[in-house]
Amino acid sequence: MANTQDVVVITGASAGHGRAVARGFARQGAKIGLLARGREGLEASKREVESLGGQALVVPTDVSDADQVEAAAQAVEAELGPITVWVNNAMVSVFSPVKTLRPEEIARVTEVTYLGYVYGTMAALRRMLPRDRGVIIQVGSALAYRGIPLQAAYCGAKHAIEGFTESLRTELLHDKSRVRVTMVQMPAMNTTQFSWSKNKMDHNPQPVPPIYEPEVAAHAVIWAARHDRREIDVGGSTVAAILANKIAPGLLDHYLARNGYRSQEAPGPVDRTRPDNLWRPVPGDHGVHGPFSDRSIRRSPEVWTTLHRGTIAVLAGLGLALAGLSAGRRRSRRNTSQTNRPVIAPAIRSASDEHSARLRELPTA
């Protein structure tokens, strides 16, 4: 559970997964700095946070601008207090084959989705390191380990975040800092990403199934704020993708070449008129969920198992201990039986022999 004194910064907090994370922290009474470009979505998120018991500050911010991120951090601390948790979550993407991407599109995705995390992390470290406490949570993806077709710019940014975070983690360990950094690797989620990311495909985009509701992943982020875990993989599909890429990356290349396009294509005609948020926010309040709720997973046993693996290990150990104790008792009973048998059997034979001898001594008719 988050501490009610936590001051949490969430980037990309106006919609989708970031907004789901804000709701979760609000239920625990946290003070939350809400960062994103779209003011309407931020104001709606603020109302939700306050209705759930939290306190919120709206700070319109383009995370691709390091000065804006630093100014946002200053505003949060001036209004809410020292930042204890920083969640890097903001992203943009372009659905397109590499051959039709433009250099400025790749640059923009990199600036927001990768450098936005870098700037957020640096702003958090400036405050957390002198206090020797705090948690930085990087919202990652299975695509931080395994690239897929049609999302090269986004996959590249997520890979970069993974490498950056690993380097930072080793530096914190070297310095014996109590500031923690963790990465939460996400599955495909039913968020607004697929409604407003720039699309250059011949179909509307969709998440690669299985699709999870953002609340499932948000729970893992909130849990990470209170538990020292290097990484958290959300959902069985995330674990499977990472493992498959380690074991048979070449085979996975061919599998994705055959299936990676179709699995990202939503049925129906492509909408060429819808706005995208690559360069500017899409006006309005877009909420948490995308258009795939009828196909989305609302609960995940895999997530529960991942978050509670310590408890599971203890229970498994107790089970093995009880099984061993039971087996030991059964062996003990068998050994006792075998030990007593040579003592009892000769006694029976001796009594029988004595009885037979007496019968022979009796007079016969």
| Catalytically active residues, by annotation | 154
Any idea how long the chain is? Answer: 365
- Neighbouring CB atoms inside 10 A of 358's CB total 9
| Matching residue, tokens 């939700």 | 48
In 3D space, the residue among 224, 355, 218 whose CA is nearest the CA of residue 298 turns out to be 218
In 3D space, the residue among 147, 333, 329, 139 whose CA is nearest the CA of residue 217 turns out to be 139
SS3 call for 88: strand
Distances (CA, A) of 83 to 91, 135, 247, 309: 22, 9, 40, 29
Counting Cα atoms < 13 Å in the Cβ hemisphere of 17 gives: 31
The pair of three-digit structure tokens given for residue 312, joined into one six-digit string: 């599971």
Sign of CA dihedral 204, 91, 67, 65: negative
In 3D space, the residue among 80, 169, 172, 70 whose CA is nearest the CA of residue 123 turns out to be 70
